Amino acid sequence: MTASASGVPSAETRFLRPQTAQQAVLAELRALIVRGEIPPGSAIVQDALAERFGVSRVPVREALKILEGEGHITYAPHHGYKVAKLEVAELLEVYDLRDVLESYVARVGVPKIDDRHVAKMQAAMQAMDSAADREDMIGVGVQNRIFHFVVFDASGLTRAVRMIRQLWDTTDPYRSLYFVKPLNRETVNAEHSQIFEACVSRDAEAVVGLLEIHRSHAVQDLRAMAEAAQG
Amino acid sequence: MTASASGVPSAETRFLRPQTAQQAVLAELRALIVRGEIPPGSAIVQDALAERFGVSRVPVREALKILEGEGHITYAPHHGYKVAKLEVAELLEVYDLRDVLESYVARVGVPKIDDRHVAKMQAAMQAMDSAADREDMIGVGVQNRIFHFVVFDASGLTRAVRMIRQLWDTTDPYRSLYFVKPLNRETVNAEHSQIFEACVSRDAEAVVGLLEIHRSHAVQDLRAMAEAAQG
DNA sequence: GTTCTTTATATCGTATCCAATATGGCGGTT
DNA sequence: AACCGCCATATTGGATACGATATAAAGAAC
């Protein structure tokens, strides 16, 4: 079953064609929520979604159940689904939890970093820079995630990494909402460089400390935004 | 907001009536899996399940999606669902992750313990004892879980606690499989008493340490069972 | 024995129908 | 004017029937 002259895309260039409708709906809907295009608190109407995606309600409902499990939407029987809305306290809770999980995973992952991991991190840093030059903030976010998850994935702790990924997804809509300003790019780049160097020298504790600082800046911004929004 | 004379059941005595078929299927199926009555690796046929529970396939499929998110079953498009089967390495990974999360949550939760928490823990210990007398091992497991989650719930860290609960669920089928023998009851009781005392004196670090020892015993048993099964 | 073809089974999805429930407005009462 | 019960409507929850697709197993040809 080799890729013949038919239009079958190669394994590398294949723009992931969802094999089932539920997966397509899931991917698209998750992207919409994470990007903040469906704002937190919005009610989700199954029929409307089904019509929007050109599918019936069944695959939509299954995708919604997954998103509920991921914490992106909330569900109440006979009320339906709403895009999850996090209070500031909850956002901070998520960041604390990230502290715990990412520190653990990084301690396991850093010693396992090999040359390919290093190369991938470098590539992500460069791609992040060029995306920033194009003012492609979405691309920046994507590359930023790739950069950080190289270390996490190296740990091989699939469950923990999956949890971390969900926590990132949870907070992403708020980054899109609040971080309209391109947050201090030089600071981020400098910190990434430091993290990268610590990874190259396989210094797990250094990486853990740098990641903590890195996150604390995000939390600081978050707090400031929240107070500004309240006042 | 006191409970009036209306027929509204109080928060304590409300007998949870599954409001929807999907919830009923979910609860029942999860119980079957966690108890090990559907052994790990088994294929799950939607039609059979629907018929078994007397519902159509729609609620079954939604319940399956939830169980997939919880890690109880695996899913492959057009292939269906199977009861998740964990290798020993994965089980150990789960226990390590529990170490990390439970330590974190306990450190937050123990200082917040109040008299009602203490009472609940005592009640659970007694109920666990009487269940053991009746040789009701399921009841023992239920009370054991209640005992431990008093501390976790006290933390107020809903997301972290939910993750911990899922990890418990994940490993439960294997407890049911392997722990046919009523594992050293005196040891468990003694450790629970120690944990209880540490909670009463609000000594978080002591609780964390005791929980670690507590879990390590389970891991030891698990290893032994795995080696016995292989040999 | 290997490979190709056929067949069977189960999943995936659609369409349509009906029941149960929550929401919002209406009118009546106090 | 504030409160309460009642009713119309929209949405969710679910059932059923049917068709399409993909995987896997059985059988046929070489």
In tens, the pLDDT along B108-164 reads: 999 999 999 999 999 999 999 999 889 888 888 899 999 999 999 999 999 999 999
In whole angstroms, how far apart are CA B111 and each of A122, B102, B108, B198?
Answer: 44, 14, 7, 11
Domain count, chain B: 2
Same domain, A186 and A214: yes
- The range of the structural domain enclosing residue B25 comes to 21-83
Mean pLDDT (chain B) is: 86
Check whether residue A51 and residue A66 sit in a common domain: yes
Is residue A8 assigned to a domain?
no
pLDDT given at position A177: 60
Locus of tokens 């740098």: A210
pLDDT tens for each residue of A80-108: 999 999 888 899 999 999 999 999 999 99
Kindly state whether B95 is in contact with chain A, defined as any CB-CB distance less than 8 angstroms.
no
**DSSP for residue B20:** S
Judge contact between A100 and B101, C-beta under 8 A. yes
| CB proximity B82 to A under 8 Å | no
d(CA B121, nearest CA chain A) in Å: 26
Assess whether B197 and B216 both reside in one domain.
yes
H or E segment and range at residue B76: strand B73-76
Confidence band, pLDDT 50/70/90 cuts, at residue A15: very low
Residues 106..165 of A with a Cβ closer than 8 Å to B: which? 157-160, 163
Q: Are residues A166 and A114 in the same domain?
A: yes
Does residue A178 carry a pLDDT above 80? no
| Residues A71 and A97 occupy one common structural domain | no
In a domain, A45, yes or no: yes
In terms of domains, do A116 and A156 share one? yes
Measure Cα distances from A37 to A34, A42, A60, A198, B69 in Å.
8, 10, 18, 36, 24
Instruction: Identify the CATH number of the domain in which residue A71 sits.
Output: 1.10.10.10
Residues B109 and B198 in one domain: yes
Report the C-alpha gap between B14 and B7 in whole angstroms: 11
Same domain assignment for residues A97 and A161 = yes
Q: Determine which of B17, B68, B70, B97 to mutate to test the interface with A (most A C-beta atoms within 10 Å).
A: B97
Nearest to residue B102, comparing CAs of A212, A71, A100? Answer: A100
Q: How far is B159 from chain A (nearest CA, A)?
A: 8
Asked if B116 and B219 sit in the same domain, the reply is yes
Burial (0-12, 13-18, 19+ Cβ within 10 Å), B72: buried
Residue B14 lies in a domain: no
Do B134 and B65 lie in a common domain?
Answer: no
**Do A107 and A221 lie in a common domain?**
yes
pLDDT at residue B49 in the model: 94
Q: Are residues A69 and A97 in the same domain?
A: no
